[in-house]
Each structure stands twice: as structure tokens, then as C-alpha cells.
Amino acid sequence: MIILKKHKQILEQYIFVNKSVLGAFYGGSIARNDSDIYSDIDLRILIDESLDKNEILMEFINLFEDKLFIESQDDGFVVLHLKNLLKIDIFVFYAKDLSPSIWLSNICIIKDNTNFLEYIKFNSEDVVRVTPERITSASNKFLAYLIESYKRYERNEIYYVDYSINMMSNILCHLWYLRLGEEPNVIGDWSKYEGNRTKLKDNEIKILNTILSKDYFEQREYLSKEFLKVLRDIDKQYNFNNFKDKEYIVNLIFSNL
């Protein structure tokens, strides 16, 4: 935590003296107040539209002499790794880039010259929206990976099979979170699903652990069973009437395996 605190101080000192920075806030674990010694720094910077995003970004990158490597860098965005293994994500925004969203409802604002960030935070709903479109999108991805796992196994592409099973497990977590009324991660992102910060129930964690102990055929069957179970629960909870369609597709897929 000392390393995290030290580098936050470096960033914040520069933010407060730099007139080019209109506002700044943390996201991720720092904003949630559940960071630990392995946490990243997720920093978001607000600047005036007359300024160049990448010039401001370079100023922040150059604050650190202990850079190890830059994982990725794009227009107004960098993922920076330091020699002490700390990772720092920095986004630079114009006001037009930001609008209220659930992801901005719990940000930790550290500078806000124009009160724009307070406006964004105040108007960002922290209510999870569970819609038929969200469930259908996640479900269709699950089904696509289920089919892919079969094809790749038959081709003896085992790493691809592992990837497909992993994605099916991840989508199951995504649906579990929606059933709980918690905003899930982007599909494919495992952060927050495991460890002390997870919102999953004990039986759901047990299911994830059980999946790891099974072979590919059992994994697909087990995951599909839990997939249909969570869809059935969501259907009952929100009256989506989507479960039967997905059950039919799962049965059709397994009839061809």
C-alpha cells in the first residue's frame, strides 16, 4: 500500500499545480475503497478542448522515472507498468467525452474546477439495468462459445477449447451478477469475480471451483446446466420469457455433439 500511496501522491501533486487539468478522478478499486497492494491506479483526467490529449498524457507519463514498459498507448490513453510492478491506467477526456453512466456513479473526484465531474457523478444512476437485450447478448455469446468448444476439440485445438470454456464460465458470472442486481464486468474481464471483492454467493464460487476439476465434456454439460438455471431465474424475476428459446438451442447443440 506504501507504493500505491507514493505514486498517488506524485500524480495528485502534479494534478493540483497543473492548470491544464480541469478535473481528475479515480476509478476502480481506489474509487471503491477496496484497493490492496496488488491494485492498479485508474486515473481519469479532464482537460479543455483547446488542448491536445496526447501532449497532456505525455506529461503524466514523464512523471515516472521508474517506467518498466508501456503496455498500450492510444489517443488520450496509456497503460503504464513501473519497475515495482505497479500498473497505472490513465485516460484523458474532454467534457464532451463524458456523460452520466453507472460506471461514473461512484468515482472518487480529486479535482473539479468547473464542477462538471460532480454533475456527472450526481446524474449517474447506480441502478443496474437488466434488459432483455443485455441477457440475449450475453446468452448468445455463451452459446457461440459452446459450439466453438466442440469444433475446436474435434480439431485438437486444445488451447482454443480452454479459452472457450473460460469465456463460458466468465459469461456465467456475468449473468449471476445481473441476477444479483450487480453491474457485471465487460464480458471476458475476470476482475471482481474472485477473491475478497467478489459479490458471488458461496454456492456460485463452489460451482466455479467444481468446473475446474472436470474434463471438457463434463465442463460443457455442467456450465450449460448452470447457464439455463440462471436464465430461468432471470426470466421469472423480470418476466422476459427468454428461457425456453435458449433451452431449445442448448438441447439442439448437445444433440449434435
**Cell numbers found for residue 78:** 496509456
**What pLDDT digit, counting tens, does each position of 156-178 carry?**
999 999 999 999 999 999 999 99
Q: What percent of the chain has pLDDT over 90?
A: 87
Strand ranges across the sheet with 21-26:
67-74, 77-82, 87-93, 41-47, 21-26, 108-112
Q: What percent of the chain has pLDDT over 70?
A: 100
Cα separation, 173 vs 176, whole angstroms = 5
- Cell 485438437 maps to which residue? 156
| Position 36 confidence tier, pLDDT thresholds 50, 70, 90 | confident
Residue 35: its pLDDT value, please?
87
What's the distance, Cα to Cα, between the start and end of the chain in Å? 50
CA separation (Å) from 155 to 145, 160, 220?
15, 10, 17
Residue 192: its pLDDT value, please?
86
Residue 129: its pLDDT value, please?
92
User: Where in the chain are the domains?
Assistant: 2-122, 132-255
Which of 3.30.460.10, 1.10.15.40, 3.40.50.1820, 3.40.140.10 is the CATH number of 2-122? 3.30.460.10
pTM over the 0.85 mark: yes
Q: Residue 105: helix, strand or coil by DSSP?
A: coil
Cα separation, 194 vs 196, whole angstroms = 7
Residue 2: its pLDDT value, please?
81
**What pLDDT digit, counting tens, does each position of 66-118 carry?**
999 999 999 999 999 999 999 999 999 999 999 999 999 999 999 999 999 99
Cα separation, 137 vs 176, whole angstroms = 15
| Position 60 confidence tier, pLDDT thresholds 50, 70, 90 | very high
